[in-house]
Amino acid sequence: MRMSVIGCGYLGAVHAAAMASIGHDVVGIDVDEDKVAALASGTAPFFEPRLSELLADGLASGRLRFRSSMADAAGADVHFLAVGTPQVAGGHAADLRYVDAAVDALLPHLRPGDVLAGKSTVPVGTAARLAERIADSGATLVWNPEFLREGWAVHDTLTPDRLVVGAAPGADGERAVEVLRSAYSSALEAGTPFLVTDLATSELVKGAANAFLATKISFINAMAEIAEAAGADVTLLADALGHDGRIGRRYLGSGIGFGGGCLPKDIRAFAARAEELGRGESVGFLREVDAINLRRRDRAVQLVVDALGGLVFGRRIAVLGAAFKPFSDDIRDSPALDVAVRLRGLGADVVVTDPAAIDNARAAHPQLGYARERDDALREADAVVIVTEWDEYRRDLSPTHAGGLVRGRIIVDGRNCLDAEAWRAAGWQYHGMGRR
């Protein structure tokens, strides 16, 4: 099937490469000519496992190409809309300028029978508005939300846990849904559930999923606050809760909270849209979810300050992690970098290391110190803070090895990813989040 993918950022580049890898003829379109040039040469503009291999294979096969002109999208059977929807400046709502601009640019190239499949995360009601905008072209709009996890995006595109397609009622909508079934035939043959909904429901699925996930993460972090006050251990609490089949253990890991370019801004936009619909009270709890999440960063900084006896100025602190999560170089709204910046603001000599995100972090925060190698960051440190749970830190770093490098054996485990007893037994002063 011939496809175009409009917008070649994180979502679009992965989607284009993945679709080409299963045999479709794909052109990725983006207005950023530098990004297009990089992708066309096989260079991924961000770190994502397996993406470089998919790009190389797709380009070599001729099934994948990248262009900067929307005219190159003409002739595709389905056009995937994958542009960003950032938070508006000075507010919480989603900025839809890029979505509208992409649809306007594509409109002259749409043919009767074409399918425009929206993948961008948008406020409910956007799809119906866009469907009206393209109606005269004879093309049909459906909404096909993405559920990608950074670090697992290729896997999640090729083997999704569900596929959702929202369509308007009628023959055109039904035909468009069948086009999407064909596009995802390999996943469907592997047993992936395919859910057909109305347009509004398909838009709500993404926002609701993010809201639930953020709530679960902030819930256990709220329990961490109570555990600290009560002298309890939130990790044992989470284990006990996780055995309840109605709750589950996944995403009940207490720490410094969530970040990235999606979850924080998406829950704010979800709440903002609920306010516009006159139902702000229905998601009023999301404001507290956001507040709990941000408080965890404060708590991590305070643990470092307290561990150093309140004397932070001039002390060397190794910060292990810069990306907002492992297997990514994304530093957008990164709790890890936020902790590092706050410690630097208190006068600490902060040295940040990360397996993938050093260059992005340095460009955003040149005032921090950086070390490409983990051990260089640890050397002569008065305290160590783990803020991104890369395997290099949570699994591969032994307390004995680290103890031979540092000046002070103080470690703050911002992700509760270490064996506390093992580190204490090696002579470390261990501090976790919501742990005794």
Cα(217)–Cα(223) distance, rounded to whole angstroms? 10
At residue 357, the pLDDT reads: 97
Quote the pTM value: 0.92
- Does residue 293 contact residue 221 with C-beta atoms inside 8 Å? yes
Q: Among residues 262, 292, 356, 402, which one is catalytic?
A: 262
Tens digit of pLDDT at every position of the chain (436 positions): 999 999 999 999 999 999 999 999 999 999 999 999 999 999 999 999 999 999 999 999 999 999 999 999 999 999 999 999 999 998 999 999 999 999 999 999 999 999 999 999 999 999 999 999 999 999 999 999 999 999 999 999 999 999 999 999 999 999 999 999 999 999 999 999 999 999 999 999 999 999 999 999 999 999 999 999 999 999 999 999 999 999 999 999 999 999 998 999 999 999 999 999 999 999 999 999 999 999 999 999 999 999 999 999 999 999 999 999 999 999 999 999 999 999 999 999 999 999 999 999 999 999 999 999 999 999 999 999 999 999 999 999 999 999 999 999 999 999 999 999 999 999 999 999 999 8
17-39: pLDDT as tens digits: 999 999 999 999 999 999 999 99
8 is catalytic: no
At residue 436, the pLDDT reads: 80
List phi, psi (to 5°) of 12: -65, -40
At residue 334, the pLDDT reads: 97
At residue 282, the pLDDT reads: 95
- Does residue 360 contact residue 331 with C-beta atoms inside 8 Å? yes
157-174: pLDDT as tens digits: 999 999 999 999 999 999
Q: Check residue 87 and report its DSSP letter.
A: B
Nearest to 75 by CA among 184, 178, 2, 176: 2
Cα(337)–Cα(335) distance, rounded to whole angstroms? 6
Which residues, in sequence order, are CB contacts of 48 under 8 Å at separation 6+? 10, 14, 150, 151, 153, 154, 327, 328
At residue 226, the pLDDT reads: 97
